[in-house]
Each structure stands twice: as structure tokens, then as C-alpha cells.
Amino acid sequence: MTAVAPTAPAATRHPSPAPRLTRWLLRLHRPALCVWVGLVVLLSAALLWLGGPLTDASAAAWEQYNACAGASQCAYDQPAIIRYKEVYSATTFAVVALPFLVAAWAGATLTSREMETGTAQLTWAQSVSPVRWLTAKLALPATLVVAGTGMVVALHHLAWSAGEDRIDTAKSWSDFPTFYSGGPLTVALALLGLVVGVLVGLLWRRSLPALGTSVVATTGVFAVVHTALPYLWPSVTQVRDRAQGAPSGTGIVVDEGILTSTGARLPDPYCGGGVFPECRATYDKLDAVGYYRDFHPLAHYWPLQLVATALTCAIVAVLVFAAYRVLKSSTGGTPRGASTTG
């Protein structure tokens, strides 16, 4: 008689304990985390340098230059002025580029690589539901992205404010790179880049195509927000007659042109000013009596920032919903391990 080895009852089979997602996520993406922290620290240091010593040196150099009053022989610290401009341009470009950098990373690694290599499927087989897996993929990176981007954006705004009215060539608030790099809109755009990368990674499930698509998609959404930006808050209108000339000054221009005697708005021919006979004839032919300019003054800085940020966050919420829908349609939303042991 052959003895039969006892087998364990099915009821004693327990699924593997769920891994600690936060620790696992940090370990899996440690190189990216180190790069991000290093980038934020380096950029923060550069912005502190810009808003402190560089601004003071450049302001002092401009005082020296203005004291010359146009003299042919003038001694002033020109390198300090150039150094300020170079560092300001470099740091501003770096801050504006952060959303695209986040999108590239999220598209290349955060979800697509795990889907491509099967790591995600292995995780789902360990009693971790796809929904929980995706939530961890979104929540922890989003916290780090918002914290890091928020810090450098705040420092950039402080650095720009330090040079206001002290440096003759300081950028106006309406300069778009300055506008984006100094407000919460860039934080929302970085969050947008993260979510776009996650969604594209779920759709492509391959790293390289997801990387390129994420950057292109983020650029497209950025273009939409940028195009809509001047219309997100009511503008103010300046009107001048022909003798006064077209309105000018700083601000974000929404629309401008000429006014006819009936109040109609027409494009400005920009023929070189009404002082020239041919130009006066052109304006007379158009029945132009003055100029108009719809624009946003400095007082609209924060309303534009906040409304554009709210719009971007709304797009982020839609994309997050889409990511969960895509995941649920492809997996059913339940852990594979649970379906086999239950």
C-alpha cells in the first residue's frame, strides 16, 4: 500500500502580503528621485544667488552707469550686469522646462516600463490591486513634484522681485517666461506633465514611445493654456486719438488696432505713424479716428495666475480620471492574485 502525502487544505493558502508600496516605489525610482532632489537643490541655490549677490551687484553697476549720464568715458561693472542677465535667463528657462522634464520621466519610466517589463503584473499578483498601484504611482510623485516645483517657483518670484525697479533691464512681469516661472501655474503644469506621462504610459506600455508622446502631449496642453491665458480674466481698454498715437506700455496685450468714426475696430496698418503723408492717407481711407488696446495690467497678475492654475488643475483631474478608466478597462481593477485564491 502506497502512502499518500497529505496536502495543505485550500483554506490555509494565504496570498502574499501586500508590499509596502511607498518604500517599493522609492527604491524602484531612486535614481530619478536623486536627480530630482539634486536639480531642485541646484536650481534653488542658483535662484538664491540670483536674488541676492547677483542682483545687488547688477543694481550697483546700473547706478554707476546711470551716474555717467552719457559720458563717453564711463567706468562701471559691466560683467556684473551681464552675469545677472545670463543667470536669470538660464534659471528662468530651467524652471519653465520642469513640466516637460517631469512629463518625459513619467512617460518613460513611471508606468510604461513596469507594464513593459511585467513588474506591474507581478505586483498585481501580490494582492495589490491595480487601482492601489496606480494611486501610489500618482500620489507620491505628485507630492514630490509639487513640493520641488513650488519651491523653485517661489524662489524665482522672489529673485525677480528683488531686481524690480533696481535693474534697468529687468524683465517685465508680462514677459511670458518670467510670468510662468514665477507663479503657481508652473506647479500645475508640472503636475499636468506627471499625469500625462502616467496616462500615456498606460496606453503605450512601452518606454520610448511613451516618452516622446508625453512630451508632445504636454506641449500641446501647454499651448492650449497659453492661448487661453489672456482671455481668462476681463481685460482693460486704452483708447487714444490719432494725435496721441497708439497706446503703449507693459502688460499682456489681448487685442489692439484702430477705431473708426462708427466705433468699429480694425487692424492697425502700422504704416509708420501718422506723420507721414502716405500713412495719413491710409488712416483717412480707413476712417480711423483713434487707437484701442485691450490688455492686462500688473493688477491682473495674480487673477491670471490663479484662473490659469485652476484651469490646468481641472485638466489634470480629467486626465487622472481617464488614467483610472484605462487601467480598469485593461485589468478589471482587481488584483490577479486575489482572483485566483479567493
More confident site: 292 or 26: 292
Confidence band for 99, pLDDT divided at 50, 70 and 90: very high
Give the C-alpha separation, 54 to 34, whole Å.
28
pLDDT value of residue 7: 45
Asked if pLDDT for residue 12 goes beyond 70, the answer is no
pLDDT for the residue numbered 309? 97
The predicted model scores a pTM of: 0.86
Query: How confident is the model at residue 69, as a pLDDT?
Result: 79
Q: What value does the mean pLDDT take over residues 135-142? A: 93
- At 273, the pLDDT band (50, 70, 90 cuts) reads low
Q: Supply the pLDDT for residue 292.
A: 95
What is the reported pLDDT for 333?
55
CA distance 289 to 262: 9
Per-residue pLDDT of 162-212, as tens digits, reads 998 899 999 999 999 999 999 999 999 999 999 999 999 999 999 999 999
C-alpha dihedral over 193, 199, 200, 205, to 10 degrees?
140
Q: How confident is the model at residue 19 (pLDDT cuts 50, 70, 90)?
A: low
pLDDT band at 335 (very low <50, low <70, confident <90, very high): low
311 has a pLDDT exceeding 90:
yes
More confident position, 246 or 55: 55
**Residue 323: is its pLDDT beyond 70?**
yes
- pLDDT for the residue numbered 197: 95
User: Is a pLDDT exceeding 60 seen at residue 130?
Assistant: yes
